Amino acid sequence: MSPNKPPPPLIQEIFPVEVCRKAAELGFGGLYVREDVGGSGLSRLDSSVIFEALATGCVSTTAYISIHNMCAWMIDEFGSQELRSKYLPHICSMQLLASYCLTEPDYGSDAANLQTSAKRDGDHYVINGSKAFISGAGDTDVYIIMTRTGAKDDGAKGVTCFLVDKDTPGLNFGAKEKKVGWNSQPTRMVILEDCRIPATNMVGEEGQGFTIAMKGLNGGRINIASCSLGAAWAAIDKTTDYLKERKQFGQKLSQFQHLRFTLADMAAGLLSSRLMVRHAARSLDSAHSHAPQLCAMAKLVATETCYDITNKALQLHGGYGYLKDYPVQQYMRDARVHTILEGTSEIMKRIIASSLLN
C-alpha cells in the first residue's frame, strides 16, 4: 500500500442493494401491496412480524425496506391504475428502489406547513423546494414527494403527493449525511429546482397529500416500532449469551442477581412492547377508528422501551459493549433514531393526548 494512500475505513457504509433484491424475491418488496402488480398481499400484522425478524439481523437495512414498502403502499392505495401498472411490479421486485420525501429543513414535525411547491403548467407540474433526512436519497430510483399545490394559508388542505423519477431534470441531492446509526442506508437532502413532471405522476388527488402522508405514517410507525422490537430481541439474545460466558469475581455474570433482574426487566419490556405493536397492527388491518392513536401509542412505547433495552444490553457487556467488535452497540445506535423519525416521541404524545381530550 502506498504510504500516501490512507487505509480503508474499518467500517464500510454500504447500501446493500443486492441484499434488498434478494429480500424482494421472498416477497418483502411489496408486503402489503396487492398481488395483481407483484405485491405479496399480506396484512400489517404479518408485516410487523417480518420486520421484527429481519431487524434482528440488520436494523438499518430492515428500516429502509420498511420505508420502501410504505412508498409502494401509497402508490398502490392512492395511485392511478397507470402508475400502479407502470411502477409497482418494478418496485415490488426492488429493481426500482423508493424513497419517501416529507420532512423539510424548516418544517419537520409541522408537515401541514411544508413549503416545497408544485405549480401547474399545462399537462405538467413544476416542483421547487427541498426535503431533508431522506433515506436512500441519491441511490434510489423513485421519490414520493409531498408538495404544496395550494396557498400557504391552506395548510394541510393544500398538500399534494407526486411521484418523481431520479433522472428527472432538476432533481438533485445533497451530500451524504454522517449519522450515528442507520449507516447501511444513505441519507441526503433532496433538492428540486424547476423539476418538471407529468401531471399523471400525481398520487391521489390534488389536495389529498396530507391525508396520504398521515395514513402512510400510521403504518410507518408500526414498521419502525417493529424494527425496534427486532433490535431489542437481538440485544437480549446477545446479552444472554454474554452473561453465561463472562466471569467476574470468580463466577459467571449470569449468577449475579441484579444482572438477572435487569435481564428479566428487558425481556418483559420487549414482550409488552411487542403486544402493543401487534395490537396496533391489527387495528390498521381492521380500519379501526382508533388506529391512529393506537399506532402512536405503540410507536411511543416500543421505540422508547426497546432503545432502553439495547442501551442496557450495552451496559451489561461492560467495556466490551462499547467496542464495534461486539454487535450490541450497533443495535443501540440503530435503534436510537426510531424515537425521532416517523414522528418524534413528543409528537406521539401530542397525538395521544389530543385523541383523549377530543
What is the set of active-site residues?
A: 342
Alpha helices in 59-175 (DSSP H): 59-78, 81-92
Nearest to 47 by CA among 22, 67, 18, 19: 67
Which strand (E) or helix (H) includes residue 6? none
Residues paired with 215 in a beta bridge: none
Q: Which residues, in sequence order, are CB contacts of 66 under 8 Å at separation 6+? A: 51, 220, 223, 224, 226, 227
Contact 270, 306 (CB under 8 A): yes
Instruction: Kindly provide the b/e burial profile for residues 33-68, where b requires at least 16 CB atoms within 10 angstroms of the residue's own CB.
Output: bbeebbbbebbbbebbbbbbebbbebbbbbbbbbbb
CA distances from 88 to 37, 67, 79, 81, 314 (A): 6, 15, 10, 10, 41
Give φ, ψ of 177 to 5 degrees: -75, 145
From the CA atom positions of the chain, what is the Rg in Å?
21
Q: Give the single-character DSSP code of 157.
A: G
Q: Give the CA-trace dihedral at 351, 51, 240, 238, to 10 degrees.
A: -110
Contact 311, 338 (CB under 8 A): no
Contact 292, 351 (CB under 8 A): yes
